[in-house]
Chains A and B, each alone.
Chain A
Amino acid sequence: MSQSNRIDGGQIDRNQTLKFSWNEKWLTGHAGDTLASALLANGVKLVGRSFKYHRPRGIFSAGSEEPNAMVQLRKGAAQEPNTKATTAELFDGLYATSQNHRGSLEWDLMACNDLLSPFLSAGFYYKTFMWPKSFWEKVYEPFIRASAGLGKLSMQADPDRYDHGFLHCDILIIGAGPAGLSAALAAGRAGARVIFADEDFRMGGRLNSETYEVADQPGADWAAAAVAELSAMPNVRLMARTTVYGAYDHGIYGALERKTDHLADSGGRPRQVLWRVYSQRAILTAGATERSIAFGNNDRPGVMFAGAVRSYVNRFGVAPGRRVAVFTNNDDGLRTADDLRAKGIEVTRVIDARQGDVVVDTQGRKGIHKVILNNGNHVEVDCLAVSGGWSPNVQLTCHHRGRPTWAADIAGFVPGGELPPGMTVAGAANGVITLSAAISEAHTAAATIASELGYSGKSGDAAKASDEAADIKPYWHVTESKKRAWIDLQNDVTSKDVKQSHQEGYRSVEHLKRYTTLGMATDQGKTANILGLAVMAEAGGKSIPDTGTTIFRPPYNPVAIGAFAGRARGKDFRPFRLTPSHNWAKQHGADFVEVGMWLRAQWFKRPGEKGWRDSVDREVEMTRGSVGICDVTTLGKIDIQGRDAAEFLNRIYANAFLKLPVGKVRYGLMLREDGVCYDDGTTARLAENHFAMTTTTANAVAVFRNMEFARQCLWPDLDVHLISTTDAWAQFAVAGPNSRALLSKVVDDLDLSNEGFPFMACAECTVFGGTPARLFRISFSGELAFEIAVPARFGDAMIRALMATGEEFNAVPYGTEALGVMRIEKGHAAGNELTGQTSAQMLGLGGMVSKKKDAIGSKLAERAEMNRDDDLRLVGFQPVDKSVLLTAGAHFLTPGDPEDMAHDQGWMTSVAYSPELGHSVGLGFLKRGKDRIGEVVRAYSPVRNQDVMVKVCSAHHIDPEGGRQRG
C-alpha cells in the first residue's frame, strides 16, 4: 500500500519523500502533504470514531473546518489530542494515532453505542440518567466521564515552549485566498505597513485547490507570484501558519502562529507564538466554508466535501476515490466532476438536487461503496463528493456582537450589523463568492483604505480573472431519507435530534445548540450550523432568516491553553522578587516562603534540628536572649516629600501625623473610605518636609496607588510627591537585648543610648565607616530593637557584616516564622487580624482614629455599628491545659452554650507556640473581649477537630508594660 492513490500534479514536492507512522504502521508521503492527504494517498479511509455512536469516520474536508479526522499527534509528553489531520503538515517521522475507540480502530468495542442510538438522542443525559438518584454519582457519572471526549491527554507536563509577541501595522489582512492576495498587493504596493496572515502553510487559499486562471496563468502560479512579490516588499509581513482567532477592541487582533508544529524537532524554538496585533484597519478575506447536505448515512468514510475532493486532486495530487459520485445543489458540484475527469478519475454519477435527484441512503460500514438514490437506483462508488453550497466565514465579524444577515443569492449568511471598528470584509467572506468579483472587490477595498491612511503609492489594477458559474438552489436535507442523517458530524447530531429538540420546545437557536450540542467542540459548527438551522426552520415552518442565527465568539479555531499561558507557567508564572540577603540566606540553610511575589527566609535550619519548630523555637529564644537579625526589605517603602507632606500624611492616616517631630517615627493606621482598617506601618520624619513610610508587604503596591489617587484626584494642589523605594533600600530588623551593643559597632558616630536615641527615634547615618544608612528604633518583636536600612546594593554586604559583627553576641538570623511567633507573643495585629472586616475599635485602636481631622475613612468609621461596645475585641488566649496546641480558626463559645452561630462569641485569628512561656498562645476576636479578661471560654473547631478550654488574657502575652522595647 505505497501511495496507491497518488496521481499526477499538485503542489507537493515529489523529490522529498517523508516517512510517517499511522497507528504504528510506517507510510510515506511528500513534502507539501497534510497528514490527511498523505493518508488518502495511502488509501487510508477510516481515520477515527465518532463522538457518541463510535461510527467509523473518514476525512471529510481539507481544512480547519474538519469535524471528523481528528488524531493524536506525536507521543509521550508532546502528544496532542484532537489534532485535525487536514491541517497537520506532514514531516519526516510524524507519529499519529487514531482516537476515541476501545480496542482497535477497525473493531471499536464502543461501537455498540450505535445500536443504542434510540436511547442516546438529544438531551439523553437529562432523561436517561435521572433515576435512581443514587446511581448518578456511582454509576452514571463515572461511565459518562470515561466515555466522554475524543482524544486523550498525555497526563504529563507539556514539554514545548510557547511565547507571546506584539505586532503593529496599518492594515491587517486576514486570509490569503484570491481576495486576500489581491488586497495585500493593492495595500502593499500603495506603501502601507501590512500584516498578511493565513492559517495554511501555503498561501493562496482556494487558488491552490481549483483550476481557475488568474492573469492568464494557473491560479496557483499567480498566487505563488503574488506571494513572491509581497515577500519582496519591506512594508509587508507575511505570516503563514497563522490563525487570526479573535477581533478585540480598538483594532487589536489575536493571532496564533504555529512556529515549529510542522517540524519533527523544534530545535528549542517556541512551538507557537500568540501575537497581539495592533492594526489601524483590518480587511477580512477569510473566504467561505463548504457545507454538506443531510441524507441517510451521510457520515460514512468516503463521503467528502466536493471542494475537498478538488483540493486533494488538484493541490495534493491524491485521488480520494477511484469511482466518485457527486451530490450537489449548485454548480460547484459540476466543477468537481470536470476536475475529476480531467485527472482520469471515473465519475460514476452526478446527482443534482436542482433536477430532483437526491441521495437517500449509503452503504459500506468502514467505507462507502454504494449510494442509493430517490429513484431507487444504486450507484457503486468509493467516494461521494457532496456540495451544499458555501457559507461565508463571518466569524470574526461577529466578535463585537454583529449579527450576520441572510443573502438569498448564495443561500448563506453574510456579514451584517456593525462590524468591529476598522474592519472591512471582502471577497467570499463578504458573500462575493465568484473569483473575479472577489479579486476586484478586495483590490478596491484595500486601495481605498491605503489611500485613506495617507499612502499614495500606486496600487495597480486588480488581477484579471473570470467569474465561475455559481448557481445554487437551497437544498439542505433529504426528507425522504428513512435513515439517520447527520447534521453535525463532530457531535453526532442528526436531523432527527434537531426536530426532536424543536418538538420538545427548544425553539431558539441558542437553545437548540445547548440541548443537542450542535455546533460545539473544536470545529464550532463550521460545517453544521447552517444545516441545523435549515432543519429547524423547516420544523417550525419558518424561513432560515426568521429562525435566526448563532453568532460567534473568539477563538475562530481552538488555541492551546499553553499558547495563552506563554512563558507564564510553573516557576515563571510570576517573576520572583529576591531580598538583598537572599544569597546569604541560601548559603545558611534558609527555607523560603512565597510572600506576595517575594521569597522570604522562613527559618534557618541548623544541623540536628528535626522539624521547623526546632529551628523557630531556637530563633525566638536566641533573639529574645541576645540578638536576632531579620531581613524586612519586603515591607513597602514610600518616600514622601514636599511642603505639604505632613498635611498629606495627616489625611492618609487615621491617626494624627501633623505634629510628628523630626527624628521620630510613629505607628500609622490607614482606613479604607468605608472606615474599615486597611493597612498599617510606621512612618519616620527624616526632615521637616521628608517622610519615609513603610506599609505591609502585601499592600505595598495598592497603598502607593491609593496615595497617588489622593494626591492627584482628591487634593491636587497639595505640594507633595511620592516615590516607591521598596526596592531601593535593604532593611534589617536587629532585635533583642544586645541589639544596641551590636549596632554600636556598626553605626558610625551616633549616640545609641536610650537618651540619645530613644524608642521611636530615627536618623540618617552611616555604617561601617561611611556607607549611607537610615536607623529606626522600632520594634515588632517587643524587644529592644532597631531597623537599619542601607541602599539595596549594599544589602548583601550588610547582612554578612552584621552577622560577622554579631558573632560575639551569638547573633542569630531569624525568618518569617519566628517573626510571626514574636509578634503574636507581643500582641501585634497582622494580616490574620486585618481581614478587610476589621474596625479600629476591634483592634483596640479606636482611640487612635482622630475626630479632629478629615482623613480617609474617618467619617464612616464613626458609624454606630462600628463602635458598639459589645462588638468583637482583640484579646489574647492561653490554653487551660498548657500542653494543648491551639488552633487558628476555632470559634469561641461560652461553656454550656450550643455550638451554633447564634451563640458564636468570635474566633481565634493567630496562634503560636511561645518558647518563652512554654505553651501555646493565641490572638483572637472575642465579643466584649476587653471586659472578659480572666474568663474561661471554649475554643471549638469542628474543622480541625479541636474542642478546648482557653483563658482570656491580654493580647500582650509578653512584656505587657513594654519595658523591653523602651529600655
Chain B
Amino acid sequence: MIINHPLLGPRDSAEFVYKGDATLIDRPDGMADGVEDAFHDYAYMRDNPAGEHRELWYHEQGDRSWLVVTRDTLTHDISKVELARDVARAMGRSR
C-alpha cells in the first residue's frame, strides 16, 4: 500500500507501523470521577468494520509522525490521510 503522507507525500506502507483504531486518540481523563468503564472500553473495545476505517499509522522509518489514515478495509482504498496531532487537536485534546 501507499500512504500519502501529508508532509512527505506518497510513501510505501512498509515504512510505517500500524497501531489500529484511531479512537485510541480519544483517551478518557483519568482524573475525572467514574471513568472506569470508559477506560475499560478505551483499552479493550474496538470496532472492526468491513469498509471505511480510521486508523493510526506511525512513520517509524521516516519522520516519526503519527497519522490518521482513513482506509477501506475491503478494498484498501485510502481516502484521507491526516496528521494525528491535527486530528487530536480538532477533537479538543490539548495538554
Contact = CB atoms under 8 A, between A and B. Distances in A.
B30 A400 contact: no
A250 B1 CA distance: 6
B94 A717 contact: yes
B6 to A, nearest CB: 13
A863 B36 CA distance: 9
Given A712-B66, A714-B27, A859 B35 contact: yes
Nearest to B25: A713
Contacts of A853: 30-31
Interface string A851-893: 0011100111011000000000000000000000000000000
A713 B66 contact: yes
A586 B4 CA distance: 46
A718 B93 CA distance: 10
B70 to A, nearest CB: 14
B85 A712 contact: yes
A716 B36 contact: no
A136 interface: no
- Looking at chain B, what size class is its interface with the partner chain? 35 or more
Contacts of B56: 709, 713
A705 B58 contact: yes
Nearest to A724: B64
B15 to A, nearest CB: 12
Interface centre among A400, A644, A717 (most CB of B within 10 A): A717
B17 to A, nearest CB: 7
A650 to B, nearest CB: 12
A716 B26 CA distance: 12
A709 B58 contact: yes
A854 B29 contact: yes
A718 B60 CA distance: 21
B31 A252 contact: no
Interface string A684-720: 0000000000000000010001001100111111100
B64 A714 contact: no
Interface centre among A251, A673, A716, A718 (most CB of B within 10 A): A716
A278 interface: yes
B95 A708 contact: no
A855 B39 CA distance: 12
B36 A712 contact: no
Contact of B76 (A250, A674, A862): A250
Contacts of B28: 859
Interface string B65-95: 1100000000111100001110111000111
A962 B19 CA distance: 41
Given A673-B42, A705-B58, A715 B35 contact: no
B36 A859 contact: yes
Interface string A363-380: 000000000000000000
B31 A854 contact: yes
A708 B60 CA distance: 10
A593 to B, nearest CB: 26
Contact of A858 (B2, B24, B30): B30
A860 B94 contact: no
B43 interface: yes
Interface string B32-49: 000110011011100000
A684 B60 CA distance: 26
Contacts of A249: 1-2, 76
A715 B29 contact: no
Contacts of A709: 19, 24, 56, 58, 66
Contacts of B58: 705, 708-709
Contacts of B29: 854
A123 interface: no
Contacts of B44: 674
B43 A705 contact: no
A860 B39 contact: yes
A422 B62 CA distance: 27
Nearest to B66: A712
A929 B9 CA distance: 56
A860 B43 contact: yes
Contacts of A701: 60
Given A705-B60, A717-B94, A712 B39 contact: no
Nearest to A702: B17
B85 A715 contact: no
A554 interface: no
A644 B85 contact: no
B68 to A, nearest CB: 9
B89 A717 contact: yes
Contacts of B36: 859, 862-863
Contacts of B42: 673
A300 B40 CA distance: 68
Contacts of B60: 701, 705
Contact of B88 (A644, A674, A713, A862): A713
Contacts of B40: 860
A673 B30 CA distance: 11
Contacts of B85: 712-713, 716
A673 B44 CA distance: 10
B66 A708 contact: yes
Nearest to A855: B30
Contacts of B30: 853-855, 858-859
B59 to A, nearest CB: 10
B95 A712 contact: no
A871 B2 CA distance: 48
A94 to B, nearest CB: 38
Contacts of B94: 715-717
B42 to A, nearest CB: 7
B40 to A, nearest CB: 7
A854 B31 CA distance: 6
Contacts of A712: 65-66, 83-85, 88
Interface centre among A701, A853, A854 (most CB of B within 10 A): A854
Nearest to A723: B64
Interface centre among B19, B25, B64 (most CB of A within 10 A): B64
A846 interface: no
A858 B31 CA distance: 10
Interface string A629-673: 000000000000000100000000000000000000000000001
A251 B13 CA distance: 13
Contacts of A860: 39-40, 43
A714 B25 contact: yes
Contacts of B66: 708-709, 712-713
A251 B39 CA distance: 40
A717 to B, nearest CB: 4
A268 to B, nearest CB: 28
A250 B88 CA distance: 28
Contact of A674 (B43, B75, B84): B43
A858 B30 CA distance: 8
A722 to B, nearest CB: 8
Contacts of B65: 712
A278 B93 contact: no
B64 A673 contact: no
Interface centre among B35, B40, B95 (most CB of A within 10 A): B95
A796 B85 CA distance: 41
Contacts of A718: 95
A545 interface: no
A254 interface: no
A921 to B, nearest CB: 37
B77 to A, nearest CB: 7
A421 interface: yes
B37 to A, nearest CB: 11
Interface of A: 249-252, 278, 400, 421, 644, 673-674, 701, 705, 708-709, 712-718, 853-855, 858-860, 862-863
9 contacts: A278-B12, A673-B42, A708-B64, A713-B85, A713-B93, A715-B95, A716-B85, A716-B93, A854-B31
Given A250-B1, A712-B88, 6 more contacts: A673-B27, A708-B64, A714-B93, A715-B95, A853-B31, A854-B29
Interface of B: 1-2, 12, 17, 19, 24-25, 27-31, 35-36, 39-40, 42-44, 56, 58, 60, 64-66, 75-78, 83-85, 87-89, 93-95
